[in-house]
Structure 1
Amino acid sequence: MPQVDLSFLPSKLHPVTLQALSRLTSELTTSQPQGLAGLLATSDYATELLTADASLLAHLAKENRLTPRLNLADYTLWCQQALSNENGQLPTDEASLQARLRQFRRAVMLRLLWRDSQFTDQPQQVWQTAAEITALAEVTTEAALAWLEDFYAPAWGKPYPRGTSLTQAESQEVQPLRLVVLGMGKLGAGELNLSSDIDLIFGFESQGETLGGKRSFDNQEYFTRIGQKLIALLDKVTADGFVFRVDMRLRPYGDAGALALSFNALLDYYQQQGRDWERYAMIKARVIAGNKQAGETLLDELRPFVYRKYLDFSAIEALRAMKAMINREVRRKSLENNIKLGLGGIREVEFIAQVFQLIRGGRDTELQERSVRKVLPIISSLGLMPEEASQELLTAYEFLRNLEHALQGLADKQTQTLPEDDESQARIAWRCGFTDWQALYEHLQQTKQQVRQHFDAVIADPDEEQPEPTQIDEALACLWSEQADPALTLEAFQQAGFKQAQASMQVLQTLYSSRAVANMQQIGRERLNQLMPQVLMAVATTQNPDAALERTLWLVEAVLRRTAYLVLLTENPEALKQLVTICAASPWLAEQLAKMPILLDELLSPETLYSPANKSSLQDELRQHLSRIPEEDIEALMEALRYFRHANVLRVAASDLVAQRHLMKVSDYLTYIAEVLLEQVLNQTLRDLTQRYGRPRLSNGELSKGVPADNGFIIVGYGKLGGIELGYGSDLDLVFIHDGHPTLASDGEKNLDSVTWFSRLGQRIIHFLATATPSGQLYEVDMRLRPSGNAGLLVSSLKAFADYQTNQAWTWEHQALVRARVVAGDTLLTEAFNQLRASILSQPRDLKKLREDVITMREKMRANLGSKPGEQELFHVKQDAGGLVDIEFMVQYLVLAYSHKHPELYEHTDNMRILDALAATGVLPQAKVECLQEAYLIYRKTTHHAALEKAGTFLPAEPWVAYRQQVTQLWQELLLND
């Protein structure tokens, strides 16, 4: 074993490094001992590679692979040699190719780790390392794709444009198409990290079919299959590891979208549905494999989507919103030590550069540059930023990226988080050219502060000037103190408008003297002392300061051990103002915030807090939110879905209470949230089940496509969900229907018959929705409206559902069908369900029998759920006579009674539009319809606000007498009079 001088390393690393050296064979004596020690000191992964194959480093030295620089051509040649045998032949099966690709990657990684360990005093060398990792990604992707095309050509043929004949293909008159592989993110910029994943998008020129194989496929199917095989060759973890982790979530529609899309489909998507964050992502898009010429044409056509011809200052708001979203994620996951996402980190440098690109790139075409380090000097050369600032950012970016390489090279993990143990810290410090961790950490903090200052100057919102405090404010500010005089405290509360000053003073004193406050650490207590005077001044501005104080203190008490939230409110007076406003308006919302303080992040943006998103915006927001979560982390995914729901319900409720949003809009927004979440849950469960069991066979014998729009499965919403009338605490009434083949099995290695497959799908959907996580359930689910109720199958075939509805269903089940609609799933199955629903609802009925059934069911409900005898002074808004359910039953009765004459009656599922249809068809006079609509809206608004105010649904009866009389009179006319 070579004698190695380790005096240049931190002393505590000596035994670690020596122990690693002792496991290697004498073959390493051909390498420089000093360099070897540095390599092992900076990378456990290198030690792992050499322990598995002690000759690997020696072989690299012998082949002259340890030179300072290799370019793309060098890597192309090296890859060809690594994949071929001694006769120059490529592997003949996928397993062998997988092994050689991974072995090649291990050799390259050892070269790069060796190289990095030799240049610890030159941070700029990070760009050579990044370029070589990018070259590795390009050559392995291209080699794997070319091999797959040739390997599967005999079986699948090769893809050609529509209209190409076999003769033209065989004569090479027309060339076959190739997959176009777009590299996104750091791959597109040519700046991959040591342990990056690669973000890809797959495209192909045009539709058509394959020719010359044993079997022909349409081009969509062929390129999807090739794409799946390509991902497996790169991403699959085998005994030899992996080549690159592959992430396809940046493609149109994310996980729900097709794996490969034609150019026309890509262009249509970005032109019609592309979001701001996708403009940001497409800045770095580059063709890295496949048909590069065609890919460049595609990128040229996409350029107007990315770079506007005008000065697009809206990009600042878009990037600011994206950064705010990341900041919330940082706080939520405690990622302050993450050098990429944390304040002053890598992402902020990238945002600074890209805001100029998105604003001015259409006019100043020099800015259309993928690399951040290359675009920063261009920005200053155009006079958009001082040259000094540009240079400071570039220096900071080089340092941060070099530190990122060091973190990832230690164990070949995709991490940007600083280590906490002394040993790792010392090794990282040495790798980055610092004498110790303290020196590196101090330099890092200075760098982050510098980046943050530049970020604030370009992107962050300007600080708002706060008004001078009044005398009352100053008096209130003194109340959170041990020395506060009780008499003066009471007087201050009274002067500030507290109507129950004594009780409010006691509430404040109880918290001040509580054990929870007494047990706070010093820094936490200091933060609380800084916040509480602001709280008192803020609650004094509300109409009901007593309630506002008590409810706001629920949250303060809930976050005493998570003082970052105290800082958030202290440093963001506007957020504190929104919190107090919401707490004053609704005890329910105050409770939700106290249970989930993470929702405080939503208060930072009043423009979104009081402006709920429409459905397409919700879909886009959720897609971005989930794109940062590993697909295999189901727990994190479930938490993310729950946070999304709570955050958006908070926005709706705030809009409802503070901005006086119309009732119908409130229900629309709450329904949109549920629909978007159901779509995502269906996407996730479909993907999981397909990966495990393959795709099921549909009733026509064909395989499901495995995407929500063509999967043979639908989720039908009943009740308030179906009627687009969800409230704040509504559960979801759901029915699952499938189009699976009754006997044929799925196509997975471990397959299931299709009926069982879809049954498992339904079970998993329920699991996603109803499982209690730390954030609670996503939704409470009621499946009792399915055929035969709780005794029936969880998932029914459409045929079985039709048979039940036609031959066995009770009248109340047909009533329920009035408000049923498909909220997610297969397009063709949705059409079939709608036709079935129409045929059931439009059947002629015996009106006398129908009235009897409706009355009987209604009387049962009143007896079980309404007011009891002796409670005449109370009115149950929903269940008592003349209440909400009476109106719903009358509407359902009329739809069932007259739809055979007026198909317009079953076109809609919400009561307001059905009532409009009843008036339009003359089934009910316009005056009576307006009477019912007025009562219905006021009843629903009352139940909404009762939920927010936690008031229950029993109200004093006297104010409702007139409405009840009108509704009861109509009930009498329609159902009781012959």
Structure 2
Amino acid sequence: MAGSDRSTARTDLVRLGLSDSSAAVALLDEIAELSSLERTQLTADLGRAADPDGALRSLARIARRSPEVVRDVLSDDAARPAVWALLGASEGFADFFFRHPDELLILVGARGALPAPELMRSELLAAVGDVDGFAAVGDESGWVALRIAYRRIVARIAAFDLLAPDSEAVLAPVAAALADAAGAALEASLSVARTRVSRPGVGGLFPREQVAATRLAIIGMGKTGARELNYVSDVDVIFVCGADDAVAAEVGESRIIDIATRLAAQTMQGISGVEIEPPLWEVDANLRPEGKQGALVRTLESHLSYYSRWAKSWEFQALLKARALAGDLDLGEEYVAAVQPKIWTSAARENFVDSVQRMRERVTDNIPPAEVASQIKLGPGGIRDIEFTVQLLQLVHGLTDDRIRQRGTLDALDALVIEGYIGRAEAAVFARDYRVLRVLEHRMQLRYLRRTHLMPERDEDRRVLARASGLADSGAGIWALWEGVKREVRDIHVRLFYRPLLSAVASLPEGERTLSTAQAHDRLAAIGFQDPAGALRHIAALTTGLSRKATIQRHLMPVMIRWFADGVDPDYGLLAFRRISERLGDTPWFLRLLRDSSAAAESLTRVLSGSRYIGELMEWIPESAAWLDDEDLLRPRSGRALEEEARAIRTRHDTIDEAMRSVRTLRRRELLRTAMAGVLGVLTIEELAHALTTITEVTIQATLRAVRREVVPPEDDALDFSVIAMGRFGGRELGFGSDADVLYVYRANGVDPERAHSLSLKLVAGLRQHSEDQRVPLDLDADLRPEGRNGPLVRSIDSYAEYYQRWSLSWEAQALLRARGVAGSVKLISRFMELADRLRYPEHADPQGLREIKRIKARVENERLPQGADPQRHLKLGPGGLSDVEWLVQLLQLQHAHAIPGLRTTSTIEALEVAGEAGMIPGPAVTRLREAWRLASRLRSANTLLSGQTSDVLPSDRRKLDGIGRLLEYAPRSATEVEEDWMGASRRARREFEKLFYG
């Protein structure tokens, strides 16, 4: 070819989409010479190839092996575009035609139509020489012939698909044809299997007449059953066997099952086994009863017995698409008909939605992190999200409406629209997204004839995908399309599943009134609401009317219902949200917050559905919702800021009742702030404990100032009075619901001793009276005072000194280890701490006193546990609980704090760390003890937040355990994991405690 001609040719080739025109010219010259065709014949329709360079290379390989075939197919006007489309979209088919060049001739005279199911079945049975269900060839050559014939059929399907002007429009018939081809392949493989198992020395030896009498039905599941199969996908099946009564009586049921099992195994081997011709796809029988551990083949009666007694909800969801696919179709239809009632009543089972969601989460959790963004099937916004949504809608409403009981996803979507369960606009978008995702999946699998669901990473591969699908003009365009569809699919579940709930109760446009009240009730029950009728009333109250608030709530409610449903207690969360909304009315900032900040709205549903403690406080302080839009507003306020606000209260109010009302409001507000921050993960357990301690200190200080102003007259103002924090309060380790352990001390300072004592008792009474709060109780517990409950409620500093010098017991010195002044006279606090230091940090610990502490600890474990409580579940007094860690640390402090200043701290964890650094406790033991103490503290607070009630016992109720786990940021449905984590941590801590405390 002359130079100018070559230049023109290269230009023409570039226009056709080739990137390496020089190599293309050389390949075209070679193919033209081999096939005796003109260049114009060769390049006509080359532009149809998604990868023209790859198509040319593949055709050259085939031409070198069989030039006559290439000549014949490229000379045919119908075959030529199909050849270029196939070779340009599929290197897998290029390899197939290279192995079997003559198979290209199937495209000659192609009619541009899909092969009919009957034709495919007859072709594949003819390929194995089937006669009366037995193949003519029972060795591996039968399987090879089957695989070649199957790929020949799929090539025709792919040619039709690739040449269609609208790839989305032909998706359904193409997927149905692929499913029919798979069924035909299984039928042909079963024919070979019958011959093999009735021949000596191959698959086994059974008399031919017994094999013929054995009924084996192959049930298609998943996409195969729904006639929406991919090009290369696992084909999910279930095997059902049987025999005529006379045959069964003659040979026995076990013999029939043995024959059927061998037939099933050989059928699978014929499709998936390694042979000269590559496998077609994986035959997956793991959806059978008991999965991989269960029998490969069962009788119909055995299947039904399993489904009646042991099957889980997700197994019925899997059966939704079941279809008799191959083998004995009559037996298969019996099976499908028998399981239908079980499928469509499964939504009424307890925890139905939980089990379905658990299955979906397992699939998502198993995606490698690097693949999540590219997973077109299983990832967020992928095909599985669409299928899950449609199937859940079917199962919820199919219980009473048989018109939506469809196998196929698109057919089911159409039925749901026709019957009014979803709106037409939403369904149309959803169906379009589904078709786009499936077309992308098809083209990716065609590329190498491999099972894949990952969007390509390389720009060149994306370009080929764009051209092959016809959905975009470039690689960047196809990726942008994929990202847009993902976002839409993520949101579509809300629009299809939750928005129609409003139609039962709200003033929506006529076209959106899709659910009756009864239908909405069923849907709410299915997603986890225990009181659907109550939920409908709340939704109606929030969304009915023409006000701006009702309009905004109507827009928000579909999303918020989903968030509430994902929470621990959807019913309470929705109720609390209604009450808060009613309290705030048309407050502009609240409506703006809900409308403009999805993060704040979602956080609101999370705290309300997860914590009654928060919900009850928010009803009193609804303006706290504003904090959710700014994490800084959730951070605890400093002690100084709270102290300044508390002091200002004193100047604003003349009476103690008014002042204390404001102090209680301050405390409730800050407790709520801390609780919200804790639930949303803003605070660590240490930060939370410090915040709660600070709030309690400021409350006591403000209360004491108010009471003193009321109780102590000016002439007695010299009286000193102080409050000493003890226990977890003294250690700055408070949790939600913790008591505030305290001691009360006074010094007369010239005031008559009897009057000083009388005034001090009035101060204590006033403190206890005015700190009371029915909403969030503050219990000032003085039981750690000298002589315990039998001792005076308040003592002078001199009385404390005399008592501790003459009569104090070992436990009282132990209790003082966490003593810390928090309110009242600073000088008096200093004197008390000096007194306490002499007792709690002795130069030489009394051995008898230490033995007494160990004896008391054992007695506490035996006597103080609530009657009937499981010791292992008691977070404070049970083995490995808070008490074990604290008593061990306190024992070491009594022994060594005099010599090691670091042990002179009221903090349990700080002292534990110092003991570890000093070598008193081995490093691994420190870790185990710290983990148990922190986990017990977190569980106690979470229990209070969840229920709004204080308890030291880890609940055994699975729902409550799961709620506690959610507050501690476990995954949903982690009740067992929470329980096991505590049992493991406490068991390990107890072992260390016993070695170190009693050893």
Question: TM class by shorter-chain length?
Answer: 0.3 to 0.5
Of Structure 1 and Structure 2, the greater helix share is in 2
TM-score (norm 1): 0.48
Q: Which has the larger radius of gyration?
A: 2
